Structure 1
Amino acid sequence: MLRDRSHIEDTLRLATAEPSAEFSAAMKKLLNIYHTAIKPMEQAYKYNELRQHEVTDGEITSKPMVLFLGPWSVGKSSMINYLLGLHSTSQELYTGAEPTTSEYTVIMHGEKFRSIEGIVMAADSSRSFSPLEKFGQGFLERLVGIEMPHKLLERVTFVDTPGIIENRKQQERGYPYNEVCQWFIDRADLIFLVFDPTKLDVGGELEMLFKQMKGRESQIRLILNKADSLTNQDLMRVYGALFWSMAPLINVTEPPRVYVSSFWPLDYAADTSRELFMKEESSLLEDLNQVIENQIENKIAFIRQHGIRVRIHALLVDRYLQTYYDKMGWFSDPYEVFQDIVNDPDKYYIFKSILAKTNVSKFDLPNKEAYQDFFGVNPVSSFKQLSSHCSWSGGCLLEKIEKAISHELPALLSSIGKASGAPPPAKAAQATPPPLPGTCEGPGCEEKPKNRWRRQ
């Protein structure tokens, strides 16, 4: 028998699908701040060549991305089919007991169902996938986009990845697997790491993935799938074994959240913990909804963090230039002087002077070696000092980016918070739907957060 899916639409609030005026206005203002205050500094000091990460409008306006990782045949594709209600339809992702997904499959919203080649996706500048071209044609042939009309896909994008196969060398994949995974991990708002009770072994590829997810532990969710295939006693043992396997890889005080259930459309097996599984599923859906709900806040935080890095880079380049001009004499060789500064910046207090004179954290400073490569490609003559980037009409680039970081972006975030705290308008009395399994309703329960993305 198939499971009832009504709780998915109720939890994710998919009844309507129009962005609120507040959401659209905040996104428009965020784009304006980026283009007027941050991007000019980016271009003036060639920040993209330092980080190899170009922020595009498509990335800023893109929907939250949910990334599915894990060994082969653990139920990643089946879970996406279940969330989207694709079981037994022509749009269903192919699943099987053998390794079936060999491509990176991006499932996104579209007016009609269609498949898009990776080369076409990378060539479309309006999407956020154009930077994937740097991984070569071998990877683009393994990238597939699927568009379909769906209420949930208007709010979020799913990425299904090839399964981790520990007995295969990375070189046999034909593309830089770890670098591609890193690209998706850096842009994912939520990472579902799916496991099968029979596939808890940890090998080189999985260990490398955890190293790549360092610093993003708050976005990782472990999923013990196919839980109804075990007895309650065996399930407890497997749950403990999962933590035992993951503990050396997740070096944080608070372990990531683990969801235990069977995320597929068929009903739970008999004589299993049905009530527990339904509560776990409801918790996962609430977690997913929270990420969707916080989309605009996460975008503002991302742009502010990016702005801070661009500002630090500009200050460092300016300091390199100032030191270069101070050390140049009448008979000095410009190349030798600058190479000495780049090769030994500590001798000239390049980084220490930035920490002493500006409100920059030492933990945000880039590696010194990165500037040896940066100036090796970009000659010092291609840059001007910060004081030269000022005009009567446009002001100074440094003042603009500092104003954006210190005032404009926090003010935008604060305005969204105040708007979300406003009491909702009175509504006509409606019939109250029955409570979902595992949810709390009544005088002692707090009201669920309103969804600002939608008109209430």
Structure 2
Amino acid sequence: MFSWLKKEGEKSESIENVVEGLKRIYKTKLLPLELHYQFHDFHSPQLEEPDFDAKPMILLVGQYSTGKTTFIKYLLERDFPGIRIGPEPTTDRFIAVMYDEKEGVIPGNALVVDPKKQFRPLSKFGNAFLNRFQCSTVSSPVLKGISIVDTPGILSGEKQRVDRGYDFTGVLEWFAERVDRIILLFDAHKLDISDEFRRSIEALRGHDDKIRIVLNKADMIDHQQLMRVYGALMWSLGKVLQTPEVARVYIGSFWDQPLRYDVNRRLFEDEEQDLFRDMQSLPRNAALRKLNDLIKRARLAKVHAYIVSELRKEMPSVFGKDGKKKELIKNLGQVYDRIQREQQISPGDFPDIKKMQETLANHDFTKFHPLKPKLLEVVDHMLATDIARLMDMIPQEDVNIVSEPLIKGVEDQVSPFGYGRGEGVDAGHGDPEWICSKEKPRYDQIFQALNPIDGKVTGAGTQLSYMWPTESRRRNVTSYHFAVHKALDALLATTQNCSHITDLCLHLKDQDNNLSYTQLVNSLYSATQNCQLITQFLLSLEAAAAPGGRDSPVVSIHSVAGSLDGAAADERGRDGAHYDGHADDGRDDSEADSQSECKGASPCHAYSSGPLWTTVRFLVLLSLNLVTLIITTEVLFVSLVYVFTGERYLEFYVDRSPSTWLEKAKHSSSEVVEVSLTTAKTEMVKSKLPNSVLGKIWKLSDIDKDGFLDEDEFALAMHLIHVKIDGHDLPAELPAHLVPPSKRN
């Protein structure tokens, strides 16, 4: 079977070993049990080598004129020898459509004697069947991986059971055991399930995992009628398929003619792709399916051995054999129950009791053999050891077994009419213009509203709420600037002997109301770097916002007072002074004050003792805390104005680090600083998509993997959000045509 699947390397060897292993364990371990207890007379004929080597097969079953032959033509995209299509019951025979370079028809009698084909056991159904059986060979790429069996339409009344001339249900059972898929086709206009069709479906029982149900010709009715037809079909199937689960029904129109009602076109395409993908997977799972069928066969053979040996044990030695035989057949259910209790076997492993009673009536119970435990032990060892070893050898997910799709339309990446082409993430493929360019102006507006820093936005960065008013609001907050000027006047008066601070204060007073607390601290820091006392003081301002107090660039009065005390103590310690309000060298206060200088390059009389120092300390603290109080008041005021007027303010992303905050504030060209909590995440969650989906979109859009989104990446993220909202799937990797042009190189 797998000659067409051969590959180089050990994967090819693994597949061949599985097939050869199945042949070996069947002939050496399972077949002796079947022969000893006449398994082939009751259930299934002996397996031959072609049964293991055959390609996967698909069996089509349905009432007449449901579109079975047209379905095959639709798959092959061409006719095949012996095809007949019409509204009447046209297909009057079983047709096995198989691959061959030479097209032709092989009659049934010649087919069953071909040792290379798996149809030899069908000879038991006689000439009446063989005259209605043929093989059509076609050179089609679809048939390189699968074979398809077309069946006659199931008729109503006695025509189905008597006029056939052969056991139609028995033939279906034989094929059902050996095929990989059984497709039941229903016509949208003929939903009734006749008694003959019911018996045919019941003959497929035990192979529920292979059955797929198709509602064909669905384009002949509109969407309202389709809903009613679907409900009626499910109701009919519920009476036939005795399973608690709901059967999966594929809805479509499998022919090459225009659709009568095009409103359900997308539904038909989706259902068709689901069915074709299921069929496409058959070659990959063929070895696993054969292994599964062999396991089911072995379990049934064991149960059959227990039943036959139990019946043989109950038979008398001399007299009353016929009467005992009838009694055992009548009470076969009790025999089943006894075996279940003694051997701990599940009821589902036993064969159908009615069919078993009919078969037992034609056999001589005295020729049955008693139980032979050795044969059962061999089969148990096969199931426990040999089957497990073969399971490990099967490459279950080898997608390269078939180099190209068997069925046209599945994964078609060439024509523009392939499934999903030009839709979802494939939209814009092959276009010279980037797909996001059409909506990029709108995306850019949203992006700018998120206040990007250096052209990028973050997903959920740490931000502080800190606002400065725009120029239009300055008229309402002039008290702030008045307080700043007053603080500078006080600082100028108390440090008039320090030329650096004098020049700085005069310069800052000329800023024409463009002064902020940030600029004040930053300017003092840069202009007094040669004044050691003030330098240490300003450094302590920054240190006061270290971990534990980093949530605001504003420093409390306690931290400022501590900084001044610490700086003054350090200055006195270096000069060898003992702080008691006077210098310890015997000079008076005026002489000491006039001669003390900062250790920097420029003169700076920083009085560290006496009343003057206390005055300086008080005024500096007062000025700084006035600024702090006014800033806090202004933040509240501007926030209220923003809420009630809706006016926008310039926004600025502020890092938690004070030095970074000062640096960004110094280089900001804006008069206003607002740190907003708006991020890219805030905008993306408006889509109401799950966080897992949004996380995948973020990863696909963040092409440079820096944790931020620029304009192009943000536009791509918004495009992918709309793709997902429209019902399309996201790709595992970003297609090349979706990469922004700025990122392609």
Fold match by TM threshold 0.5: yes
For 1:241, the equivalent position in structure 2 comes to 232
Q: Give the secondary structure class of the aligned counterpart of 1:147.
A: strand
Which residue identity does 1:386 align to in structure 2? K
Bigger relative contact order (CA 8 A; separation at least 6): 1
For 2:381, the equivalent position in structure 1 comes to 403
* Displacement after TM superposition at 1:306 (Å): 1.4
For 1:364, the equivalent position in structure 2 comes to 349
For 1:443, the equivalent position in structure 2 comes to 732
1:106 matches 2:92: no
Q: Give the secondary structure class of the aligned counterpart of 1:294.
A: helix
For 1:220, the equivalent position in structure 2 comes to 211
Taking the aligned partners of 1:278 and 1:112, their CA distance within structure 2 comes to 33
For 2:47, the equivalent position in structure 1 comes to 55
* Displacement after TM superposition at 1:85 (Å): 1.7
Q: Deviations over 1:370-414 (max 9, x none)?
A: 79547607625xx57637xxxxxxxx5443322111111122113
Which residue identity does 1:74 align to in structure 2? T
Taking the aligned partners of 2:282 and 2:38, their CA distance within structure 1 comes to 32
For 1:139, the equivalent position in structure 2 comes to 129
Moved more, 276-285 or 185-194: 185-194
Answer yes or no: is the 8 Å Cα contact 2:81–2:137 preserved in 1. Answer: no
Taking the aligned partners of 2:263 and 2:96, their CA distance within structure 1 comes to 34
1:221-370 superposed matches below 5 A: 221-269=212-260, 271-315=262-306, 334-336=317-319, 355=340, 358=343, 360-365=345-350, 369=357
Q: Give the secondary structure class of the aligned counterpart of 1:95.
A: coil
Q: Give the secondary structure class of the aligned counterpart of 2:65.
A: coil
Unaligned residue ranges in structure 2 (runs of 5+): 401-411, 424-727, 735-745
For 1:152, the equivalent position in structure 2 comes to 142
* Displacement after TM superposition at 1:310 (Å): 2.5
For 1:413, the equivalent position in structure 2 comes to 391
Taking the aligned partners of 1:244 and 1:321, their CA distance within structure 2 comes to 45
Answer yes or no: is the 8 Å Cα contact 2:81–2:104 preserved in 1. Answer: no
Taking the aligned partners of 1:300 and 1:384, their CA distance within structure 2 comes to 29
Which residue identity does 1:143 align to in structure 2? F
What is the number of equivalent residue pairs in this alignment?
Answer: 401
Quickly say closer, same or farther: Cα 1:215–1:372, change in 2 above 3 A. Answer: closer
Moved more, 285-294 or 352-361: 352-361
Answer yes or no: is the 8 Å Cα contact 1:50–1:374 preserved in 2. Answer: no
Answer yes or no: is the 8 Å Cα contact 1:113–1:149 preserved in 2. Answer: yes
Quickly say closer, same or farther: Cα 1:378–1:50, change in 2 above 3 A. Answer: farther
For 1:392, the equivalent position in structure 2 comes to none
Structure with the higher helix share, 1 or 2: 2
For 2:364, the equivalent position in structure 1 comes to 376
* Displacement after TM superposition at 1:84 (Å): 1.2
Answer yes or no: is the 8 Å Cα contact 1:26–1:296 preserved in 2. Answer: yes
Taking the aligned partners of 1:262 and 1:139, their CA distance within structure 2 comes to 31
Which residue identity does 1:364 align to in structure 2? D
Quickly say closer, same or farther: Cα 1:131–1:273, change in 2 above 3 A. Answer: same
For 1:12, the equivalent position in structure 2 comes to none
Q: Give the secondary structure class of the aligned counterpart of 1:83.
A: helix
Quickly say closer, same or farther: Cα 1:265–1:359, change in 2 above 3 A. Answer: same
Quickly say closer, same or farther: Cα 1:338–1:156, change in 2 above 3 A. Answer: same
Answer yes or no: is the 8 Å Cα contact 2:285–2:396 preserved in 1. Answer: no
* Displacement after TM superposition at 1:308 (Å): 2.3
> Of residues 19, 24, 34 in structure 2, which corresponds to 1:32?
24
Taking the aligned partners of 1:274 and 1:133, their CA distance within structure 2 comes to 45
1:117 matches 2:107: yes
Answer yes or no: is the 8 Å Cα contact 1:105–1:145 preserved in 2. Answer: yes
How large is the Cα RMSD of the aligned pairs? 3.5
Taking the aligned partners of 1:47 and 1:227, their CA distance within structure 2 comes to 44
Answer yes or no: is the 8 Å Cα contact 2:62–2:186 preserved in 1. Answer: yes
Taking the aligned partners of 1:62 and 1:356, their CA distance within structure 2 comes to 39
Answer yes or no: is the 8 Å Cα contact 1:81–1:92 preserved in 2. Answer: no
Answer yes or no: is the 8 Å Cα contact 1:342–1:371 preserved in 2. Answer: no
Q: Deviations over 1:217-269 (max 9, x none)?
A: 33322212122222222222222222233332223222221111111123434
Taking the aligned partners of 1:51 and 1:167, their CA distance within structure 2 comes to 27
Unaligned residue ranges in structure 1 (runs of 5+): 1-15, 325-332, 388-395, 425-430, 446-456
Q: Give the secondary structure class of the aligned counterpart of 1:236.
A: helix
Which residue identity does 2:118 align to in structure 1? S
Taking the aligned partners of 2:18 and 2:261, their CA distance within structure 1 comes to 49
Q: Give the secondary structure class of the aligned counterpart of 2:98.
A: strand
Taking the aligned partners of 1:421 and 1:264, their CA distance within structure 2 comes to 31
Answer yes or no: is the 8 Å Cα contact 1:115–1:147 preserved in 2. Answer: yes
Answer yes or no: is the 8 Å Cα contact 1:66–1:190 preserved in 2. Answer: yes
Which residue identity does 2:389 align to in structure 1? A
Which residue identity does 2:211 align to in structure 1? I
* Displacement after TM superposition at 1:100 (Å): 1.3
Taking the aligned partners of 1:286 and 1:68, their CA distance within structure 2 comes to 17
Quickly say closer, same or farther: Cα 1:237–1:339, change in 2 above 3 A. Answer: closer
Taking the aligned partners of 1:423 and 1:130, their CA distance within structure 2 comes to 33
Q: Deviations over 1:337-366 (max 9, x none)?
A: 87787666689x976775566454354345
Answer yes or no: is the 8 Å Cα contact 1:196–1:224 preserved in 2. Answer: yes
1:81-92 superposed matches below 5 A: 81-87=73-79, 91=81
1:202-217 superposed matches below 5 A: 202-217=193-208
* Displacement after TM superposition at 1:432 (Å): 7.6
Identical-residue share of aligned pairs (%)? 28
Quickly say closer, same or farther: Cα 1:371–1:410, change in 2 above 3 A. Answer: farther
Which residue identity does 1:376 align to in structure 2? D
Answer yes or no: is the 8 Å Cα contact 1:17–1:151 preserved in 2. Answer: no
Q: Give the secondary structure class of the aligned counterpart of 1:105.
A: strand
Q: TM-score, normalised by structure 2?
A: 0.48
Which residue identity does 2:111 align to in structure 1? M
Q: Give the secondary structure class of the aligned counterpart of 1:173.
A: coil
Which residue identity does 1:268 align to in structure 2? L
Query: Who wins on radius of gyration, i.e. which is larger?
Result: 2
Q: Deviations over 1:304-349 (max 9, x none)?
A: 221223234445555666778xxxxxxxx833387787666689x9
For 1:4, the equivalent position in structure 2 comes to none
Answer yes or no: is the 8 Å Cα contact 2:311–2:365 preserved in 1. Answer: no
Which residue identity does 1:76 align to in structure 2? K
Which residue identity does 2:388 align to in structure 1? P
Q: TM-score, normalised by structure 1?
A: 0.76
